[in-house]
Amino acid sequence: MDFSLSPELQALQEKTRRFIAEVVIPYEDDPRQTPHGPAEALRDELVAHARAAGLLTPHGPRELGGLGLSHRAKAVVFEEAGYSPLGPVAMNIHAPDEGNIHLLDAIATPAQRERWLRPLVEGHARSCFAMTEPAPGAGSDPTMLTTTATRDGDDYVIHGTKWFITGAVGARVAIIMAKLEDGAATMFLSDMDAPGIRVERTMDALDACFTGGHSVLRLEGLRVPAENVLGALGEGFRYAQVRLAPARLTHCMRWLGAARRAHDTALAYAARRRAFGKRLGEHEGVGFMLADNAMDLHAARLSTWHTAWVLDQGQRGKHESSMSKVAVSEAVWRVVDRSVQILGGQGVTGETIVMRIFKDIRAFRIYDGPSEVHRWSVARRLLRRAAPPEEGAS
């Protein structure tokens, strides 16, 4: 594996870094940020800046205006974007749009690409991914899906409730997971202003970095024409993996940038703040935390890059992305938590960006599958490989 950066990728990394520092970070005190994410007007303004800079939707297909980056190139660029909570919003690489763009690019029909994918890549629309349901419906176990889709002439009629649907408020299109009459899971595309789909309420959440927040959706007699089935009937769970394996990894990339920002902030403070006759960072307790941060960031970056390399080789990377998701989500959490500790009062107040990063990043250990589910999945695979051959088998 060659992890060296080409001159072109180095230039793109530096361009992204300058864009975040000079254009995006000055917006971090903008009052158009709400408990449910940046307001649409703020998002549109930031997107316009990224469009002008040639940095909009870098993962999107080239024929629709994106840069068509490989997974490894995304690892470099997305980390730089994640250095500000507003960076992924500006560059149109935040969840759930980033994962939805990848999914639509992989399986949408030409008509669906033109109707829904193009405006997403161009930054003129947002989307949501409606799979998760309240109990007893699908959560970490997608096979518990309760939302139904019944064929009625040329349409499918969908009934169900979805919850914790990121970006639903203000989204133009929803990708909806529902089960057919035979129980097979299928994905459907629907405009969010269609009759039969409504946002029931917006949920209060620890994080505030996703435009549109997190919502409960009610689907009551939602009619979806057959041509708006996404992919093949009954292949919903397989397509979910097409989306989720890379999406777990891009979460790692973005949050790695955020954790680096928290560490840089704590390091600068420890280098200038004096206590008990010397710089704070010269005290062993603080110095060791800074060293542990550097090691966690290094290991998280290597894990992310390795899995990106696996995906770039055309491999599914499901298990690699699971392992990276756990390793990186827990490493960056440790980094941010230590940074808060080093900063003391400045870490638990809005005097620095670190409190905001702390609140936003905690949920990463849950999003796209909690660490415990990924550990269970990895353990099952290990045990299958280690199982002795069945008695009597040749």
Q: Quick check: bond before 96 cis, omega within 30?
A: yes
State percent of the chain over pLDDT 90.
91
Domain 127-233 has CATH 2.40.110.10: yes
Q: How much is the pTM? A: 0.94
- The whole-number pLDDT of residue 394 equals 40
**If pLDDT is split at 50, 70 and 90, which confidence band does 62 have?**
very high
- 78-113 tens-digit pLDDT: 999 999 999 999 999 999 999 999 999 999 999 999
- The whole-number pLDDT of residue 3 equals 77
> Closest by alpha carbon to 212, among 31, 46, 40, 29?
40
- 320-335 tens-digit pLDDT: 999 999 999 999 999 9
- CB of 63 within 8 A of CB of 73? no
Q: Is 99 exposed, middle or buried (0-12, 13-18, 19+ CB in 10 A)?
A: buried
**If pLDDT is split at 50, 70 and 90, which confidence band does 390 have?**
low
**Rounded to an integer, what distance in angstroms lies between the CA atom of residue 284 and that of residue 272?**
16
Domain residue spans in the chain?
7-94, 127-233, 237-386
- The CATH T-level fold of domain 237-386 is Butyryl-CoA Dehydrogenase, subunit A; domain 3 (1.20.140)
- 227-274 tens-digit pLDDT: 999 999 999 999 998 898 889 999 999 999 999 999 999 999 999 999
Q: Is the pLDDT of residue 140 over 60?
A: yes
List, in order, residues 6 or more apart from 108 with CB less than 8 Å away.
Answer: 116, 117, 189, 230
User: How crowded is residue 130: how many other Cβ atoms within 10 Å of its Cβ?
Assistant: 31
**Least confident stretch, 23-32, 47-56, 238-247, 262-271:** 238-247
Domain 7-94 has CATH 1.10.540.10: yes
Span 209-224, mean pLDDT?
Answer: 97
